[in-house]
Structure 1
Amino acid sequence: MLPLLGLATIVVLLGAILSKRMSPLVALIIVPLAASLIGGFGFQTSKFVIDGLKSLAPVVGMFVFAILYFGTITDAGTLDPIIDRILRAVGTRPTRIVMGTTLLALLIHLDGSGAVCFLVTIPAMLPLYDRLKMDRRVLAAAVSMAAGINFLPWTGPMIRASASLHLPISALFNPLIPVQLIGLVFVFSVAFWLGRREEKRLGLTAANGSAPMPKRELTPEEQALRRPKNFWFNIVLTLVVLGTMVVMGEKIPPAIMFMVGLCIALMVNYPNVDMQRKRIDAHARAALMMAGILLAAGVFTGVMQGSGMLKAMAQAAVGFVPPAMAGHIPVALGLVSMPLSMLFDPDSFYFGVLPVIAEVAGQLGVPAVHVGQAALLGQMTTGFPVSPLTPATFLVVGLCGIDLADHQKFTFPLLFGASIVMTIACVVLGIFSL
């Protein structure tokens, strides 16, 4: 009875989210509460929910303050000199332009927001592509690869994986640092290849610097927020915040680092109290939306785990997996995680599917951390810029002025290749075993 109830809960949750009959926030709260009451758990449901919320509090705090921190230093113009220098350096050589596009997107996506990355990078680079008659699909592919390869501790997929599996972010992220570096090598190699291919298609063999470079214009409102004199301070502050998270993540929670970093950034860049409030207000909507989703996910995971539905489902599923194949679960998931982005949105996968896979793997002796790491190699990381289930995909094709089908056909193999390369790297580096 309990395994069937758990399966029905997940099916209804996925159906409600994918059919858009309910928003993820509503579905993650209503569906598990109804399932718990149907299962006869009554007032115990309250305890399940509170336990789930408590387990997610550090993750929610980190995500909220990460958005506020990166939003503040971006408003202060910390990335402006980097963007302008990249635009000057790429010149009019397609190979440099594509690699510069990739680097710029990678830097902009440090805040973990795909929408911000695309909104800044594509308008800045599109004039160059159009002036040289370069394929706009290459621009879309370059920014997609750069954003997709980024699964830093404060990005959505990493936070969702940590929340759904109740694992520290450092346990998931730190072993994947060399894997991500290998993925970046692959991405820049592909960017170089795409640029060379464009040069051959256009018949260009040398840089043509005679045409004027397009200038990036800031609105008067953006100019008023810029603090160029604080550039190096903001850079050093960001390096300290991020470096402390990576090196001392076990001793100093990431949420504290972003809290302290935000306070310092606000006091230095915007000492006026009214301006501090306006900067927080400007980014509060994005922070609260994600915080709401994560807290709703705490309700779902709390009920599924506290009621025993998750464990019962896993025990029933163990019988269908040959023990000899148990060790291959992370590798198999790593290989299919990117295509799964076309079928599942991040909330339904990380909060509905991943815990079941992890529980099954755990019953067979495979650590949950390996399952979470495998999912992060593609599920809404390399997969999100081509998935029809994410608004960011439509932002890419809209800003580039290309068809969704053309973008998917051109970019999907490149992103899938990155996911495969990183999965192989996990095996070679001993993170996964065969």
Structure 2
Amino acid sequence: MASIVIISVLLMVILSLFRVNVLLAIVVSAMTAGLMAGLSFGDLVDIFTTSMAGGANTALSYILLGGFAIAIALTGITKGFVQFLRRAIKGRRGVMLGVIVVIASLSQNVIPVHIAFIPVLIPPLIALFDRIQIDRRAVATALTFGLKAPYVMVPLGFGLIFQGLIQEHMEENGVVLPLADVTFAMLAPGLGMVFGLIIALTITYRKKRDYSQIEPESEPSTVEEIDDAPFVFERKHTMTIIAIVAALVVQIVTEEMVLGALTGLVLMFLLVAVPYRQIEDVMSRGISMMGMIAFIMLTASGFAGILQETGSVEALVNASSGLLEGNQLFIAFILLLVGLVITMGIGTSFGTIPILAVLYVPIATAAGFSPMAIAVLIGTAGALGDAGSPASDSTLGPTAGLNVDGKHNHIWDTCVPTFLHFNIPIFIFGLIGAVLL
């Protein structure tokens, strides 16, 4: 039974590496897991489709955010920002990547819009990226860092939710730890991400890359390039800013991305920032932009549901517990390795925390780990695999923005680079933190 989760996740990864569509790879892997567990085709499909409902909120959020992003782009407000960047950057690739890291980081905590800024900001910058010959793998790494590191390390916005989940589920399983201690514990994997980012931007992807020599793998999107005509601030831009602020306020107050995105989208039309007659075009383009991400998140929830139904996750941990005899370094290594496999398959750090806490707390407590060390193990195992997973929004988002011309491959240009530069140092730093704390 324990082998089910390992084989199904490896199958998903291998299919993705061979350029099989990610959505199809997840569905095939989920079906394989169910059949290996002896489920009938009827039960398999029923469990898969029922479990997809767990990702419905996220999927709807991304569809609405896609429409909101298209509406913002149609007002031309991004034109002014892009022109400002062009003047300020002046071909300095390092500065450009630094700006992207900052903007992406703000999207998780200070202005919690998650991946919604990517389809608005990144496509208009593609021409600039190509002109200065920046390696888009470096951009993908910078974006994924900004989407992930802040919620791992900073207890604000999505970070407060993530660290609160760790604290809550540790307490439910008998280990009480103040939120401040959880935050301190999460500095271990967070510093691993910082180390990985520095390596990626200063060594691995430092050289120029000429994208004029790369053939598109898919049809270019309909996102228009920003022209060089002088930007003029108009009434519709004021209305757009009002809609953006309102969307952020609603999201922060209600803690629901769906309501925030819907508020912003409705206000864009009510305030006539975008003419009402364009609503069909806005929504169809929004669905086209974010629809694939939404469906992948739905299928990932279905995959997670099947793994839980088969009991293969618990079986994997129980089978691993038989190996957990010896020093704490070896025990932490096995637990983090299990966490990597689970999160790679499910594709979400937040959704993995409740599963891991139930399994990790009793094992780690019996092995003599301190409460803070247990927090490191759970948080690190949850964060592992999010970067690098074909089904994670931390990788799907950057690809959606960078592949507008069909020259950025999701697996080889986003997932593989982010896996190497983030998961490996997260694993090492989390391992050290769990042993030392």
Q: Which moved more, 1:177-186 or 1:320-329?
A: 177-186
CA distance in 2, matches of 1:217, 1:172: 41
- What is the identity, as a one-letter code, of the residue corresponding to 1:350? G
Tell whether 2:31 aligns with 1:33. Answer: yes
Tell whether 2:84 aligns with 1:99. Answer: no
**1:175-213: CA deviation from partner (whole Å, max 9, x where unpaired):** 88997998999899999989xx99xxxxxxxxxxxxxxx
- What is the identity, as a one-letter code, of the residue corresponding to 2:8? T
Q: Which of 367, 383, 396 is the aligned partner of 1:374?
A: 383
**1:150 is paired with a residue of what secondary structure?**
helix
Shift in alpha-carbon separation, 1:423–1:192, aligned structure 2, 3 A: same
Could you list the runs of 5+ residues in structure 1 that have no partner in the other structure?
130-135, 156-161, 199-215
CA distance in 2, matches of 1:321, 1:297: 30
Q: In the alignment, what sits opposite 1:208?
A: none
Q: Which of 392, 416, 420 is the aligned partner of 2:421?
A: 416
- Whether the 8 Å contact between 1:140 and 1:396 is mirrored in structure 2 is no
Q: In the alignment, what sits opposite 1:233?
A: 239
CA distance in 1, matches of 2:7, 2:423: 34
Shift in alpha-carbon separation, 1:26–1:227, aligned structure 2, 3 A: farther
Pairwise CA distance, 1:292: 1.8
| Percent identity for Structure 1 against Structure 2 | 12
Could you list the runs of 5+ residues in structure 2 that have no partner in the other structure?
108-113, 152-157, 167-178, 208-224, 365-373
- What is the identity, as a one-letter code, of the residue corresponding to 1:85? F
Q: In the alignment, what sits opposite 1:205?
A: none
- Whether the 8 Å contact between 1:146 and 1:187 is mirrored in structure 2 is no
**1:149 is paired with a residue of what secondary structure?**
helix
**1:112 is paired with a residue of what secondary structure?**
helix
CA distance in 2, matches of 1:185, 1:37: 41
Pairwise CA distance, 1:359: 7.4
- What is the identity, as a one-letter code, of the residue corresponding to 1:292? F
CA distance in 2, matches of 1:60, 1:77: 26
Pairwise CA distance, 1:141: 7.2
- Whether the 8 Å contact between 1:172 and 1:373 is mirrored in structure 2 is no
Shift in alpha-carbon separation, 1:398–1:321, aligned structure 2, 3 A: same
**2:81 is paired with a residue of what secondary structure?**
helix
Q: In the alignment, what sits opposite 2:125?
A: 121
- What is the identity, as a one-letter code, of the residue corresponding to 2:57? P
Q: In the alignment, what sits opposite 1:85?
A: 84
**2:27 is paired with a residue of what secondary structure?**
helix
**1:345-387: CA deviation from partner (whole Å, max 9, x where unpaired):** x9757389x7997776466345686145532784369x99999
Tell whether 2:25 aligns with 1:23. Answer: no
Q: In the alignment, what sits opposite 2:308?
A: 305
Tell whether 2:142 aligns with 1:146. Answer: yes
Mapping of residues 132-171 of structure 1, within 5 Å: 136=133, 143-151=139-147, 171=164
Size of the aligned set, in residue pairs, is 364
CA distance in 2, matches of 1:328, 1:270: 53
CA distance in 2, matches of 1:397, 1:287: 15
Q: In the alignment, what sits opposite 1:295?
A: 298
Pairwise CA distance, 1:295: 1.9
Pairwise CA distance, 1:275: 0.4
- Whether the 8 Å contact between 2:73 and 2:120 is mirrored in structure 1 is no
- Whether the 8 Å contact between 2:74 and 2:274 is mirrored in structure 1 is no
Tell whether 2:257 aligns with 1:254. Answer: yes
- Whether the 8 Å contact between 1:68 and 1:262 is mirrored in structure 2 is yes
Q: Which moved more, 1:49-58 or 1:365-374?
A: 365-374
Mapping of residues 339-350 of structure 1, within 5 Å: 348=345, 350=347
TM-score by length of 2: 0.59
Mapping of residues 203-222 of structure 1, within 5 Å: 218=227
Shift in alpha-carbon separation, 1:255–1:77, aligned structure 2, 3 A: same
TM-score by length of 1: 0.60
Q: In the alignment, what sits opposite 2:59?
A: 60
Pairwise CA distance, 1:278: 0.6
Q: In the alignment, what sits opposite 2:47?
A: 48
- Whether the 8 Å contact between 2:70 and 2:286 is mirrored in structure 1 is yes
CA distance in 1, matches of 2:258, 2:52: 16
CA distance in 2, matches of 1:303, 1:385: 23
**1:60 is paired with a residue of what secondary structure?**
helix
CA distance in 1, matches of 2:201, 2:2: 50
